[in-house]
Amino acid sequence: MANTSGRVLGVNGNMVTVEFDSAIAKNEVGYIHVGDDRLKGEVIRINGNTASLQVFEMTGGIRVGDAVEFSGEMLSVALGPGLLQQIYDGLQNPLPELAKQCGFFLQRGVYLDAIPNKDWEFTPLAKEGDQLRPGDTFGTVPEGLFTHQIMIPFNLADVAWKVVSIKEKGTYGVRDTICTVEDAKGTRKDLSMIFTWPVKKAIKLYEERLRPDETLVTKIRVIDTFLPVAKGGTYCTPGPFGAGKTVLQHMTSRNADVDIVIIAACGERAGEVVEVLKEFPELVDPKTGRSLMERTIIICNTSSMPVASREASVYTAVTMAEYYRQMGLSVLLLADSTSRWAQAMREMSGRLEEIPGEEAFPAYLESRIAEFYERAGKVRLRDGRIGSVTIGGTVSPAGGNFEEPVTQATLKVVGAFHGLSRERSDARKYPAIDPLTSWSKYEGIVKQAKVEYARNILRRGNEVNQMMKVVGEEGTSVSDYITYQKSELIDAFYLQQNSFDPVDASVPPERQKQTFEVLFKVLATEFDLEDKKQVRSFFNTIRQKFLDWNNVESGSERFTQIEGEIHALYQGKQRGVDPDAEQLI
């Protein structure tokens, strides 16, 4: 039953001004009655006895005087077993079930249970008389690949709750009462396997927040070696349209060394989301050999859906990620693209007539983006287990302009920047990450000093390349030309991958370390080459050997053979070793 009622005073796009007759709270959910439909909205501003609601549906047909009921609850998501393999919209409505009920075109005002009614095999871990706090586990159920922990709801008061009764091991419905707890005042709560949590409130039921110091292996060489991401860290992937942001995210979600992947398509184009929905159920998880969807949750809120839902989808995704982190699991959240979320904030800020910031984005853009990325983290739970949420967001700056507000606000809070280049994308280089403008604050799988040495060669090679565009190849020295060829070797062999090749599409860290060591020895070698013709001929030959090596299975006879041929090639032309690299070999 609604706590408070009200009526519509005005409509401005997806913002509705409402007059109410009792107390309401910011972020409370309200429903606007339009005929037989109840349109869901969220209170975003209160001024006296009027409130502004951002409505998550199309607002056509709303009239002045229409009834409004307030739920007394914050915008929340349901948490419990059954989240995995689901495809939700931004409000956690299961889209396949919506499609069955509504047909081809989804109807507004239809809200379904987020977690399906299903029986689970419950195993109690607590016993009568135990004292538990919110976030403590009192039982488990098997959920696919994982043991899903049934916890004391996070929304209970943070005091000791005594277990009054608990069900024996057996099969129960997800909404059945399986445990009853009581606090010191005698207040009793009946608990099922699910509960709700406000999406805009971070879950902080852990003992300690740890430094993200463990590399998140993605099996993408340019990331793991040159631009690493840490478990519990943050990174962003800005780039112009068509530069490969979505493809890179898909490959990361498939190969990343994490337990759970959550994809938040917060305003991405519908065609790309459809591609995800078609491909993911058919993809084989390299870790388990089973369907990739078994450890994936997809939030679909495409650019054709109501604008306000973009914000809801971002917070829905990160709340579910924190929930699984509370079980001691490592979670990767991929948001694509946060630019659409920022555009939604800009539109709502304009309707609220707030003072605009740069490019009409709200003045609080930076703080909102920071609040989102700060919900990532590696934590030690009260029972000693370690859980992590890693957040990777793509940004779609118009024209690839990284100086625009959303990109700049994101760069201030993330730990790694993977900037995609239009030039590299047009040259069909995958991934199209620019190694010269991108950076990372985290430790990778290869010794940092060696990576810096290779990166320095890339910089010097780029300078020589720019010079050759002006004075031609003839105007460069042989030593500069060798540096340029070394930088091209790094780019062609190590920074690029063939996503269609079964071997090169995902490269384990052990292989990355082994191949980088061989590459480093070539980079550190001072060659006995007299002219540019010899330089060109030698590097063409050794480059092809390296490229052939990329496509051969590790540990095979052919793999060892090519490695030996590469050693013979560079040692045959070796004049010495660069003194700066000698101590690193």
pLDDT digits (tens, 9 = 90+) for 148-191: 999 999 999 999 999 999 999 999 999 999 999 999 999 999 99
Percent of the chain clearing pLDDT 90 (strictly above): 80
| 356-385 mean pLDDT | 95
Pick among 3.50.50.60, 1.20.58.110, 1.10.3720.10, 1.10.1140.10: CATH of 448-582: 1.10.1140.10
CB 453 within 8 A of CB 225: no
- Name the CATH topology of 79-113+206-440: Rossmann fold (3.40.50)
Q: Which residues pair with 181 in a beta bridge?
A: 163, 189
For residue 271 the two structure tokens come to 């065609």
Give 53-79 as a 3 state SS string.
EEECCCCCCCCCCCEEEEEEEECEEEE
So what's the pLDDT on residue 125? 97
pLDDT reading at 528 higher than 80: yes
Percent of the chain clearing pLDDT 70 (strictly above): 98
pLDDT reading at 2 higher than 60: no
Cβ count near 3 (within 10 Å): 14
pLDDT band at 283 (very low <50, low <70, confident <90, very high): confident
Cβ count near 511 (within 10 Å): 18
Question: CATH 3.40.50.300 in the chain, residues?
Answer: 79-113+206-440
Binding site for ATP: what residues are annotated? 239-246
Binding site: what residues are annotated? 239-246
For residue 142 the two structure tokens come to 């098997």
For residue 122 the two structure tokens come to 């419950």
CB 218 within 8 A of CB 232: no
So what's the pLDDT on residue 304? 61
Helices (H), 525-574: 532-550, 557-572
CB 157 within 8 A of CB 137: no
pLDDT band at 270 (very low <50, low <70, confident <90, very high): low
| 338-351 mean pLDDT | 92
Q: Domain 119-193: state its class.
A: mainly beta
> Who wins on pLDDT, 4 or 33?
33
- Name the CATH topology of 4-74: Thrombin, subunit H (2.40.10)
Question: CATH 2.40.10.170 in the chain, residues?
Answer: 4-74
Q: What is the pLDDT of residues 185-212, one digit of tens each?
A: 999 999 999 999 999 999 999 999 999 9
Q: What is the pLDDT of residues 460-499, one digit of tens each?
A: 999 999 999 999 888 899 999 999 999 999 999 999 999 8
So what's the pLDDT on residue 104? 73
Q: Of 20-29, 273-282, 396-405, where does mean pLDDT reach its minimum?
A: 273-282
- What is the residue-averaged pLDDT of the chain? 93
Contacts of 72 (CB under 8 A, 6+ apart): 2, 3, 4, 28
Q: What is the pLDDT of residues 284-310, one digit of tens each?
A: 787 788 888 899 999 987 666 677 788
Report d(CA 534, CA 50) in Å as an integer: 79
Report d(CA 86, CA 116) in Å as an integer: 10
Helices (H), 266-337: 270-279, 308-325
Q: What is the pLDDT of residues 240-262, one digit of tens each?
A: 888 888 889 888 988 999 999 99
Contacts of 367 (CB under 8 A, 6+ apart): none
So what's the pLDDT on residue 302? 65
Tell me the whole-structure pTM to 2 decimals: 0.94
pLDDT reading at 377 higher than 50: yes
Question: CATH 2.40.50.100 in the chain, residues?
Answer: 119-193
Q: What is the pLDDT of residues 99-120, one digit of tens each?
A: 888 877 778 889 999 999 999 9
Write phi, then psi, for 390 (nearest 5 degrees).
Answer: -105, 130
Question: CATH 1.10.1140.10 in the chain, residues?
Answer: 448-582
pLDDT reading at 271 higher than 90: no
HSE at residue 415, side-chain half, CA atoms within 13 A, is 24
So what's the pLDDT on residue 400? 84
